[in-house]
Structure 1
Amino acid sequence: MFYNNVKNFVGFFLKILYKLEIYGEENIPKDNKRLIICGNHRSNLDPVFISLAFRRQVFWMAKKELFEFKPLGWFLTKLGAFPVDRHSNDIKAIKNSLKILKNENVLGIFPEGTRVKEIDYNMIKSGVALIAQKTNSEVLPIFIESEYKFFKPIRVYFRPSVAIESTKKYDNEELEKISQDIMRMVYGEETKWKLL
């Protein structure tokens, strides 16, 4: 209820300031099963507009620095977000991710880890593929295209979802390659490693 109330309130004003355009809605899985949203990251507004474009609640993995200011941390936690330390193997964040997905919810991740201007697939680590495989979750790649200027379009593209073979044994290097290929799907490029 809190999430939906905030979403409707914030969405009312943002849709006045920006023109939200949504493409590929047919690619969104129709059921309410566990799902990982995986997007590119250019602005702090990215999770807001993805959430506005998406029907279900998204539980966002967010950098821990956002939670250091207690009022903001409380607000984000109420919205279902949780912190991650981007500079270490954050076991607690992984456990939170697994719990969210095992409860048949939607997890939101920006695999690039920070806002980026240029694509660097070497930044992409194994996390997305690892979590998806452990929970047998589909991954929905999403691309946001915008300069975030008032009254200009914000285009959200839902790419076709992908599943990772849950019974196959992958080593960490292969999981990294799968995660990199998922980001290639986000950017609308051809996959490279052919492990999916």
Structure 2
Amino acid sequence: MNLYTFAKGLTSLVFNPLYRVKVVGAENIPTSGSVLICSNHINNFDPIIVGISAPRPIHFMAKEELFRVPLLGQLVPKLNAFPVKRGMSDREALRKGLKVLKDDNVLGLFPEGTRSKDGKLGKGLAGAGFFATRSEAAVVPCAIIGPYKLFGQLKVVFGEPIDMNRLREQKASAEETTEVIMNSIKELLEKY
């Protein structure tokens, strides 16, 4: 058993009872091939919640500051995370993300780039559209519906993969593609 699988089991034991996590649509995540999961971002625990809710291991971009924290800095890479410099175009992080997808893995992103202060869906950054248009990945929208309240109920909804064919054929910009992805997340938030 690898560290990711062990950590997922352990965190499930903690988070599922604390937040009564209800998962909807996990079957929408393809069982093989590259997948890009794009979710809203309302809490620091979001990567953990999405990670324990998805049937496949997820690779997340994480703010580079986490990799400088003693002990945590050594642990985070072993949990499939890689650093991203926020607020600028980080070519190395983009390359790593594309490699994750090229290797038929799952890449998890929070297109807003930072947590929402008021819980409302913010504007998505172009990174999500970049990965969606530069790869053949299935793009799965995800909505985390809170609030994070002890013993309340937290819902994680995975939508059906977004049809990317038209956008890829039209060579849509990363910004246009991100907008389509954000609209899909918004629809999930409104529906559930």
Q: Tell me, yes or no, whether TM beats 0.5.
A: yes
Q: How does 1:75-154 map to 2 (within 5 A)?
A: 75-116=75-116, 117=118, 118-121=120-123, 124-154=124-154
Give 2:109's aligned amino acid. I
Give 1:153's aligned amino acid. Q
- What does the per-residue CA deviation read over 1:17-74, in whole Å, with 9 as the maximum and x for residues that have no partner? 2201111234222x31100010000001111111111111000011112212131121
The alignment-based identity, stated in percent, is: 34
Give 2:65's aligned amino acid. E
TM-score, structure 2 length as denominator? 0.89
Q: How does 1:18-33 map to 2 (within 5 A)?
A: 18-29=19-30, 31-33=31-33
Partner residue in 2 for 1:186:
185
Give the conservation status (yes or no) of the 8 Å contact 1:60–1:107. Answer: yes
Call closer, same or farther: CA 1:154–1:8 in 2, change over 3 Å: same
Q: How does 1:68-79 map to 2 (within 5 A)?
A: 68-79=68-79
Call closer, same or farther: CA 1:52–1:99 in 2, change over 3 Å: same
SS in 1 for 2:23: strand
- What does the per-residue CA deviation read over 1:150-179, in whole Å, with 9 as the maximum and x for residues that have no partner? 111010111111142344433xxx320220
The farther-off stretch of 68-77 and 107-116 is 68-77
Q: How does 1:29-44 map to 2 (within 5 A)?
A: 29=30, 31-44=31-44
Partner residue in 1 for 2:16:
15
TM-score, structure 1 length as denominator? 0.87
Give 2:9's aligned amino acid. N
Aligned residues: 183
Q: In structure 1, list runs of 5 or more residues that go unmatched.
A: 190-196
CA-based RMSD = 1.5
